[in-house]
Structure formats: C-alpha cells, structure tokens
Structure 1
C-alpha cells in the first residue's frame, strides 16, 4: 500500500484524510514548515507548499509516494470574499469574534469555506477543491476550531456538530473525496501497467 505524507500540524485533518483514503493509502502526518506564500489564490498557495514539501521530504526519503498540503479560506460574500486566503492570519491577529462583528453589520451573511488540496509527487502537482456554503452567525458551540463557531450549515454551527457530522459536509472532506477518486483511478492504472 502507498504511503502519503500530509504536511500539517493539525491531527484532525490527518484523521479526516485517513477516513477518505482508507484502503488506498496510509496517511502519515509530517510537520515540515514550508514557505507559505502570500497570494489571493488558495490553489497557488497550496501548489507551492506541496511542491516545496515534496522536494524537501523526497531529498531525505527516496521511498516517498506523495505529499498532501491543503489551504483553506472563509469567504464572506458581503465582505467581498474577505478574509479568504488570509483567513489564518486574520484569525490570529483580528480574531474570529471581530470577523463576526464585521459580518453582523451586513444584511447578507452568506459565506463559504473553500479548501484546496494539493498532491505532489515526482510527476508534478495535482489540485482538488471542495467548498461548503453557509451563513455567519453569532458564535456558539464548543467543538471544532477556527471559524467553526460562527459558520452555520443548515442552522447548526460547525462547532455544534460532532466530528462525524462536520466531516460528512466539510469542504476538506469534499476535496479529499475528489482526491480519493482520482488517486484510486491512478493507482489502478499504474497497477495495470
């Protein structure tokens, strides 16, 4: 079975990837600190991180099958997509509560989470995307992380959902499902050669 390295400090992301890739590949967490470029496009950020991570890890481990890197953003309609690709920075500097305060002043509180998953190996980088639409609400719930307490899907915030409920509708899950389909087809073709 193939082994994929997921470059992240978030064990929850790794567990979600393991669920989607069960039977296809073993997923190992790697804490490599790649250069995160500043860019308006999540795909450009993830692509660069995956390429750099693969090159660095492959230099140490010739048996590497591939590397996964993701980048996620919260895009608020009334704020012209802000914070978008700068979501982690905004969360760390301004805070989730302040983003809610900005959105609460708007009539339109629609938003969406978008994840871009980049897979890199010796053949290049492939991109997979997933998104989920919802509404921003006053913070509530004890679970999840990041913007989960202010992002509601069907009336429930992601922070109010169990991990299984959240994973069933998550933007990352949708990107992982697209990747899993592609990876299964690719490994099947490789096995036939």
Structure 2
C-alpha cells in the first residue's frame, strides 16, 4: 500500500490515474522545514511520513517560482497566498516584468525504508544532498533514503481568469489558458504534479 500524504483527495485520484498499485490518502502533518528549495522539504516529510505510517510514503511539495522575483514565492507559496493573497502576488509579478514569466514546480519524495540509487535528473544534479539529507533525528550514516522526482511547467502570470482549480491557478497561464480555465483532465495532462507523477510511476513500476 502506497500512502500519499495530502489533505487533498484530488491529488490521490490523480496519482491513481498514473499508478497501477493501490494508493491511499494519509492525513499527516509532517514538519515543513524552512529551505530555499523544495527538495529537502519534501524529503524530510517523506521520512517522517514513513516512520509514522510504517508503509511506503509519498510526499509532494510544490510552489510558484516567478523569474523576475528571483523565484519568489517558491517554497513559501502557500504562506504568501495566505498572507498576501493570490491577486497581490500576481500584481507583484506583473509589476516586476512584462511578461511576468514563471513556472510551477513540484517535487515528489518517496520513502519506504529500503535503499536505492540516488534520485534521477533533473533533481539529482551534481550533488545528492536533497536525496540523502539528514534531519536532526538521525546521523548521516543512518539517514533513510529518499527518492525524488520533479515536474515543471512554464507559463506567465496574468490577471485572474477562470473559476476552477485552486491556489494560483487563476493567475498562471500556460499556452494561452490559465490553470483555472482548464478542466481537471486538461490541467493534469500538463501540470507540474502530473509530470512528476509520470516519472515516479515509471520508476515505481520496477520497485
């Protein structure tokens, strides 16, 4: 049984579209560390979730990265939406550049307590710190291995359009359509999470 850590049942349904194995939702409030990148946040969460559930665990972390704002809000996207609001973040992006180019990124972190090779590109890069990072509960030699998969979708920030989706979907336009104007199936076909899930599913089928 693969446990997907989320409070969003829609993410679980999306994962089931990509995976042949059984996936169930796990509502678990893992520690979200402060970091400039998504990878160590997701890796820490996957380790905690595996320890909590005692079963293979999948955690995702995602964010909106605006080019002209040096990647802001990035890993702090949820906090920025809660405090500033989606529309104000959109105004900041459009004031900084026209067009306000941006990308959604998603990192999936998987942990089942067993060893495997370090994560594949593009997450792995030259170092493997995100895949082998320790937390304050463990020493380097005893760190639980975590496998990472990333998905990216490029677009631009526009005035809000559409009634669907959630978060920054109304202000993120991809190929002329905002995520909020897309159906769930259309969004899943191009989304950052869908691209990460596709990579994960291909690897997980051989696990």
TM-score with structure 2 setting the length: 0.83
The alignment covers a number of residue pairs equal to: 176
Classify the secondary structure of the residue corresponding to 1:129: strand
Q: Which residue is equivalent to 2:193?
A: 172
Q: Which residue is equivalent to 1:189?
A: none
In 1, distance between residues paired with 2:187 and 2:75?
21
In 1, distance between residues paired with 2:46 and 2:113?
11
| CA shift for structure 1 position 111 | 0.3
Residue by residue over 1:88-120, the C-alpha shift from the partner in whole angstroms, topping out at 9 and shown as x without a partner, is 110111110101110121224110000000001
In 1, distance between residues paired with 2:200 and 2:147?
9
In 2, distance between residues paired with 1:54 and 1:86?
24
1:141 and 2:139 matched: no
Indicate which of 70, 79, 90 corresponds to 1:89.
Answer: 79
TM-score with structure 1 setting the length: 0.89
Pairwise CA RMSD: 0.8
Indicate which of 1, 5, 19 corresponds to 1:7.
Answer: 5
Structure 2 unmatched runs, 5+: 115-144
Structure 1 residue ranges, 4+ long, deviating more than 2 angstroms after superposition: none
| CA shift for structure 1 position 34 | 0.6
More helix by share: 1
Structure 1 unmatched runs, 5+: 59-63, 187-193
More strand by share: 1
In 2, distance between residues paired with 1:6 and 1:182?
16
In 1, distance between residues paired with 2:66 and 2:99?
9
Residue by residue over 1:112-165, the C-alpha shift from the partner in whole angstroms, topping out at 9 and shown as x without a partner, is 000000001111210000000001100010000000000001110000000000
In the TM superposition, 1:65-144 aligns within 5 A as: 66-105=56-95, 106-123=97-114, 124-144=145-165
Q: Which residue is equivalent to 2:44?
A: 48
| CA shift for structure 1 position 185 | 1.9
